[in-house]
């Protein structure tokens, strides 16, 4: 399996809504619905026809869910789930399903994420790794940055000896439009610590995730 180069630059992104105040959320939701109505009109549709009358509400709800990662924080997500441990053997969680939205076309990309880390006196509750993947996936993304953000979040908060993340995905922006290649998959990786410097650790991880 080919592995890509690590993206070195960290990105700090916040919620476009800037808070969860009820009035602010309601105002944002109403604005989103109005924008969807305008979009339907610009596309040549009638937003008042029966089949589209509730579409702005549905799209607003869908987009709010699909971008819910902006309103989550890795520090809070992992709070209380990091424990002291003597183990220094590799921990691997493979085949984590994920769904995200391409930031270039707002079309979905989806697939599997494989995560590994080597503990350095601390471990994390196993369910938190898929939750981290989901949190970062529920934002507008490119796969390369998504892969790196997951790896860096684990590295920064658990401080293991190494972290490895590999993501395999199909992109509807490439399947439904553009080159229209339905069977193409994109594979990205981020290797930190011992997975970057030690070929044996990297090879062991890649062996675990091969089908």
pTM score > 0.85 for this model?
A: yes
Q: What digits encode the pLDDT tens for the residues 47-105? A: 999 999 999 999 999 999 999 999 999 999 999 899 999 999 999 999 999 999 999 99
Tell me the pLDDT tens digit for each residue of 120-173.
999 999 999 999 999 999 999 999 999 999 999 999 999 999 999 999 999 999
Q: Which domains does the chain have, with CATH numbers?
A: 22-66 (1.10.286.10), 81-209 (3.30.1130.10)
In three state form, how does the secondary structure of the chain look?
A: CCCCCCCCCCCCCCCCCCCCCHHHHHHHHHHHHHHHHHHHHHCCCCCCCHHHCCHHHHHHHHHHHHCHHHHCCHHHHHCCCEEECCCCCCEEEEEEEEEEEECCCCCEEEEEEEEEEECCCEEECCCHHHHHHHHHHCCEECHHHHHHHHHHHHHHHHCCCEEEEEEEEEEHHHHCCCCCCCCCCEEEEEEEEHHHHCHHHHHHHHHHHCC
């Amino acid at each position: 399996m080919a592995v890509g180069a690590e993206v070195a630059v960290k990105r700090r992104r916040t919620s476009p809504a800037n808070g969860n105040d009820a009035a602010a959320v309601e105002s944002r939701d109403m604005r989103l619905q109005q924008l969807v109505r305008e979009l339907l009109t610009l596309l040549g549709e009638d937003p008042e026809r029966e089949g589209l009358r509730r579409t702005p509400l549905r799209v607003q709800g869908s987009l709010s869910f699909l971008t819910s990662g902006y309103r989550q924080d890795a520090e809070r997500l992992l709070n209380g789930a990091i424990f002291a441990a003597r183990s220094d053997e590799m921990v691997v969680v493979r085949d984590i399903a994920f769904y995200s939205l391409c930031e270039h076309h707002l079309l979905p990309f989806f697939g599997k994420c494989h995560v590994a880390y080597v503990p350095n006196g601390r471990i994390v509750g196993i369910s938190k790794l898929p939750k981290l993947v989901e949190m970062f996936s529920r934002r507008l993304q490119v796969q390369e940055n998504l892969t790196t953000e997951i790896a860096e979040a684990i590295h920064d908060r658990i401080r293991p000896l190494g972290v490895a993340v590999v993501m395999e995905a199909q992109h509807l922006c490439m399947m439904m439009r553009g080159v229209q290649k339905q069977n193409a998959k994109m594979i990205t990786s981020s290797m930190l610590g011992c997975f970057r410097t030690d070929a044996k650790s990297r090879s062991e991880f890649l062996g675990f995730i091969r089908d």
